[in-house]
Amino acid sequence: MPRIPVHSVEDAPQQSRQRLQQLRDQFGTVLNIHGEMAHSPVVLAAYGGILDAITEHGTFDAPTREAIALAVGNTNDRGYCQSAHTQGAKAAGWSETELTELFAPVLVNIFTNYFNHYARTELDIPAAPAVPSR
């Protein structure tokens, strides 16, 4: 049972209704996650703002964004996210073979990340460059 009520556009807090309507138009329905986020207008606005920024200013195409989302959902063992982004990846043109294959590099990277964390592996290759802050 969800901890947070799943709102419709009609019963959501007034400040959430416009964004929730936009998401309903985009996805064809109010997804449970969006209806729950609508319970707090600030949460729904933050989520929507991040989506807008990624869409408007990001450099990754839709298939790449879905691959990232699938990898994160898999890493965090989030069934809802994995299900939603599997549908998104299919809509972005991913084949069943590509979706299946995606988990191989995810798995090997999770494995090596945890192994290196446990083993405290010392670098014997050039260090990754620092990401500059803005």
Same structural domain, 21 and 41: yes
**Which CATH number fits the domain that encloses residue 9?**
1.20.5
Local structure of residue 126 (DSSP, 8 states):
P
Please report the sign of the dihedral spanned by the C-alpha atoms of residue 63, residue 85, residue 76, residue 95. negative
- Per the prediction, the chain carries an average pLDDT of 80
Same structural domain, 2 and 52: yes
Same structural domain, 32 and 45: yes
- How far, in whole angstroms, is CA 109 from its chain's centroid? 18
Domain annotation covers residue 101? yes
Same structural domain, 49 and 64: no
- Residue 75: its pLDDT value, please? 64
- Residue 24: its pLDDT value, please? 94
Using the 3D structure, point to which of 40, 58, 76 is the last residue of a domain. Answer: 58
Q: In angstroms, rounded to a whole number, what is the distance separating the alpha carbons of residues 126 and 108?
A: 21
pTM: 0.59
| List of the chain residues with pLDDT < 70 | 1-2, 74-81, 85, 100-109, 111-112, 115-116, 118-119, 121, 123, 134
Question: Token pair of 49, please?
Answer: 């703002």
Q: In angstroms, rounded to a whole number, what is the distance separating the alpha carbons of residues 100 and 61?
A: 20
- Residue 13: its pLDDT value, please? 96
Domain annotation covers residue 34? yes
Range of the domain at 2: 1-58
Number of domains in the chain: 2
